[in-house]
Amino acid sequence: MVSGFVIRKNQYYDSVFLMGINKILSEAPGVEQTAVLIGTEANKRLLADIGVADPEIDAADPNDLIVAVIAESAAVVEDVINGFDETLKTMVARSPVSNIRTLEAGIGHRPDANLAVFSIPGEYVADEARKALESGLNVFIFSSNVPLEEELELKQIGKANSLLVMGPDCGTSIIRGLGIGFTNAVRRGTIGVLGPSGTGLQEFTSQVHNAGGGISHAIGTGGNDLSDRIGGLTTMAAMQALEADPQTEVIAIIAKPPGAKTLASLVGQAKRFTKPLIGCFLGSGKESAGKYEPIQWAYTIDDTAELALGAAQIVPKEAAEQESGWKSEVVDAARTGWSAEQKYLRGVFAGGTFCYQAQQILRDEGIQIYSNSPIESDFKLEDPDISHEHTMVDMGDERYTLGKPHPMIDGTERAKRIVAEAEDPSVAILLLDFIFGYNASNDPVGELMEALQQAKAVRSTADGELTIVASVCGTRDDHQDIELQTKMLKECGVFVFPSNARAAAFCRRLLDRS
């Protein structure tokens, strides 16, 4: 492979806009990878990680635009770089124009607003978010790469002013029925939920809606909030807000296990609450039952939704479908075509929480999983691009979103990994997730259908057959039509389940040859 780059001085563009350009460049024949980024220090480190480094890149500043290309030949690299300016010109002509350039201008345009949403590079979030907090606005920070000391400072300011700081690296919130980030079409109701995980909140809120319940608020906290360094400042504030909210009757928490000091504070605060609290701390293991009292412990997101519905005295409007996947004859049939060499599971996820929860379910049954985001550090992949034995990969990791849309928005990178896993003769099972809702792809299944068919064909033309298992996350009110998407998967021979936990449990059954 050959790489090349070009730098355009003093050309700053929004990251979402740049993702659109990057997608066009990446589709050129012979291209392996492209990146279209502004010259922040974090972005330059990410470029170095994929093998694109140069003193000229080191000297670029945050007002500069860097275009990097990795391709099969120098000629392809040159063609893509030479065509960049025309692509940029075309995209600029198509894009809407706004005269609002500063936070102050935005506040002047909407003086009634009480929330500011940030998706700018993480290095610049703190100053702008501080201005918003000082102007009396709650903040939602989608941006990642915000230093911990800056996150702590912002959350301390928020606490002093009784304002919520959702994030950084916050993917999902629903406030008074208004979805922010990746959310699903869910009705309002009496169940409140909080947690750092975007897809965890999405699956919980979708399950509550599908059962006939509703969500009062879903509050994202950011991935570092429950660490002892941050001390759960947003989590504590969100719990207090939900406890005081007259519409909320039940509170649920979905997160990884808190730091020891933060856990003590969390439990201490919970003892003063009057409303039922259910906690799902993924990765903590079944032995943690009772560890979080008075917070009622739940093992999976499914369990959390069931307990919350019960506490809210909501009887599911539809009885749970009979899981044909649990029948022994279905399990046996699913692995009938496996060759003697096929024995490993590969998970290729858009949702980081789903990658983590699936690891937990298999780990607790004695099946160790390697990952780029492992529960246990001993099982971290040396190279995220190379799977080892049983492997689950979070394709939403920054390595795979460098200058590219998140896999929930665009399945291009995930499609490549699906085919690559199928080409490994030792792979028997492919585990996937499909996530619907606002800001997600309009056709998540359609985007990956060619890759699924190719994966099936690769194994059937070689020795053995590939078993594909998938979960779907969403509601019937989501615009993607979850029933049609599910039908498409089943017609492709995929085993489809209504939750990540059920799909992972089915995989565990498949791997248990006894």
pLDDT digits (tens, 9 = 90+) for 200-210: 999 999 999 99
Mean pLDDT of 337-356: 95
**With helix as H, strand as E and coil as C, how does 263-286 read?**
HHHHHHHHCCCCCCEEEEECCCCH
Report residue 412 as tokens. 């291009």
Residue 214 has pLDDT above 70, yes or no: yes
Task: Please name the amino acid found at residue 173.
Answer: S
339 lies in the same domain as 200: no
Residue 319 has pLDDT above 70, yes or no: no
d(CA 124, CA 449): 39
CATH number, residue 456? 3.40.50.261
Residue 352 has pLDDT above 90, yes or no: yes
Which strand (E) or helix (H) includes residue 108?
helix 103-109
> Between the CA atoms of 225, 226, 232 and 233, what dihedral angle is there, to the nearest 10 degrees?
0
Note whether residue 439 is domain-resident: yes
Residue 323 has pLDDT above 70, yes or no: no
Q: Which residue, chain included where needed, has tokens 């504030």?
A: 237
499 lies in the same domain as 416: yes
Instruction: Average the pLDDT over each of 328-342, 387-401, 407-421 and give the range with the smallest value.
Output: 328-342
Are 162 and 132 in contact, with CB atoms under 8 Å apart? no
**pLDDT at 326 (0 to 100):** 62
Note whether residue 183 is domain-resident: no
136 lies in the same domain as 49: no
For the chain, percent of residues with pLDDT exceeding 90: 76
Report residue 460 as tokens. 């059937």
**pLDDT at 316 (0 to 100):** 86
Report residue 160 as tokens. 């002093």
d(CA 59, CA 415): 35
pLDDT digits (tens, 9 = 90+) for 6-46: 999 998 887 778 888 888 898 899 999 899 999 988 889 88
| Secondary structure of residue 459 in the 3-state scheme | helix
Q: Which residue, chain included where needed, has tokens 């059920």?
A: 502
Q: Which residue, chain included where needed, has tokens 């056709």?
A: 443
Give me the sign of the Cα torsion angle 323, 324, 325, 331: positive
d(CA 71, CA 80): 9
360 lies in the same domain as 478: yes
> Between the CA atoms of 41, 47, 51 and 54, what dihedral angle is there, to the nearest 10 degrees?
-50
Q: What residues have CB less than 8 Å from 481, skipping those under 6 apart?
A: none
Residue where a domain terminates, one of 280, 302, 320: 320
429 lies in the same domain as 492: yes
**pLDDT at 459 (0 to 100):** 79
pLDDT category of residue 318 using cuts at 50, 70 and 90: low
pLDDT digits (tens, 9 = 90+) for 51-74: 999 999 999 998 899 999 999 999
Domains held by the chain: number: 4
Enclosing domain of residue 496: 324-511
End-to-end CA gap in the chain? 45
314 lies in the same domain as 332: no
Are 270 and 294 in contact, with CB atoms under 8 Å apart? yes
Report residue 128 as tokens. 């702008």
Q: Which strands sit side by side in the sheet containing 391-394, from one edge to the other?
A: 370-371, 391-394, 344-349, 427-435, 467-473, 495-497
Residue 321 has pLDDT above 70, yes or no: no
pLDDT digits (tens, 9 = 90+) for 95-126: 787 888 888 999 999 999 999 999 888 888 99
Q: What residues have CB less than 8 Å from 283, skipping those under 6 apart?
A: 256, 257, 356, 359, 360, 375
Residue where a domain terminates, one of 320, 335, 351: 320
d(CA 204, CA 209): 9
CA nearest neighbour of 223 among 277, 298, 169:
169
Burial, 389: exposed, middle or buried (Cβ in 10 Å; 0-12, 13-18, 19+)? middle
d(CA 298, CA 501): 12
